[in-house]
Amino acid sequence: MSSDADALETPVDIPKKQKKLRPARKQVKPGDVEKKEAPQTGKEYNIWYNKWAGGDREDSYSNKVKSQTRCHIKKDAGMTRANMTGVKYCCLFFARGCCPYGWECEYLHQLPDASIALPDTSKDCFARDKFADYRDDMGGVGSFQRQNRTLYIGRIKETGTGTETEEVVRRHFKEWGEVEKIRVLQYRSVAFVTYVSEFNAQFAKEAMACQSLDNDEILNVRWATEDPNPVSKVQEKRRLEDMGREAIQARMDPRIIDAVRAVQALEDGAIDEDEQGQEEEDGAPEAKRRRADALEGLKYFAEIRRRNGIAIVRSAPLQKPPSEGLGLADYGSDED
């Protein structure tokens, strides 16, 4: 009887059902967004900079108007056809808050997932082609030669201290992904927002372009230039190296990694022959364990070669031919 009572009192962990993603809603109706063309201030229209050549400046923002729409992740995110077809790119118009297709859209209506690698590294999270260099005004898609996670936010209306401005910027920009750090230049109406993932920075750049914070301003959102601080450069280089190492290890068989380490220990002389013999005579288990690991690694490599049909050819060591004079003939001709 007591066992039955204990069974009734003991809580049972019932796995929770995953919340099903609801269909994405249509952010706008066709025709709701009024298309406004830039006023003509020159003779030629530059499609690369999206402005007329001559007369205006991108930095002045004199011809910019506040965006008519804005994306709200909690309300707008949902399932689209891309979740069924396997498309991994986000909808650009969804990020701007003006996609009229909703669940019928062919692109994702959600924040980019940093853990999922895109099929083409030369494209951004919206499937737009990157370029070799940034635009002069640091706008546009960006460059494939540098991983940029930092946005320049200009035209901020400051109504308090730098700490208060940082809180306002953080509240608006954390909606688009995990923020690593924020730096506010007080009295200069400028802030720098660094995301953990470059994909979130790409999404935030489009989502906050020509938007406002709390004071009805029109933000100037661009890519930030490279940080000249040497410490920041070293940290970024180390971060990229760690990411590359983790990505390679994630794709490799862990048995191969262990086998490589065991064989490398032999090649580096970690198991010296005299030391190994002395340790075996003394009954040291460490030497036996290292030797067993190395042998297991060699056996595993031999098994891989056998499965792949790779023949092991032991060739004689190359002997250096005798040189005469300066030995220039040893280099061979261009045809060789």
CA 199 to chain centroid, in Å, comes to 6
- Greater pLDDT, 17 or 200: 200
Q: Which residue has the tokens 């002395």?
A: 278
Cβ neighbours for 152, distance < 8 A, ≥ 6 positions apart: 138, 190, 192, 220, 221, 222, 223, 224, 225
Q: What single-letter DSSP state applies at residue 141?
A: S
Written as six digits, the tokens of 137 are: 């005004």
> Using an 8 Å Cβ cutoff, are 64 and 218 in contact?
yes
Q: Which of 8-17, 33-42, 43-52 has the lowest mean pLDDT?
A: 8-17
Query: What average pLDDT is seen over the chain?
Result: 78
How many angstroms separate the first and last alpha carbons of the chain? 91
Q: Is the dihedral of CA 228, 229, 231, 236 positive or negative?
A: negative
User: Which of 129-138, 174-183, 321-330 has the least mean pLDDT?
Assistant: 321-330
The ranges assigned to domains in the chain are 19-110, 132-229
**CA–CA dist 109, 96 (Å, integer):** 11
DSSP 277: H
Residue 321 has pLDDT above 90, yes or no: no
Nearest to 135 by CA among 59, 218, 227: 59
CA–CA gap between residue 259 and residue 249 (Å, rounded):
13
Structure confidence at residue 121 (pLDDT): 87
User: For 43-98, how does the pLDDT look when each residue is reduced to its tens digit (9 = 90+)?
Assistant: 677 776 666 666 545 445 556 789 999 999 999 999 999 999 999 999 999 999 99
pLDDT tens for each residue of 142-163: 999 988 999 999 999 998 888 9
pLDDT digits (tens, 9 = 90+) for 15-29: 555 566 799 999 998
Q: How many residues comprise the chain? A: 336
Fold of 132-229: Alpha-Beta Plaits (3.30.70)
139 compared with 296, residue with greater pLDDT: 139
Q: Quote the distance between the C-alpha of residue 204 and its chain's center.
A: 14
Strand, helix or coil at 280?
helix
Gap between the Cα atoms of 234 and 22, Å rounded: 43
**pLDDT tier for residue 326 given thresholds of 50, 70 and 90:** very low
- 332: CB partners within 8 A, 6+ apart: none
Confidence bin at 336 (pLDDT 50/70/90): very low
Helix ranges, 162-267 (H): 162-173, 198-207, 230-251, 254-267
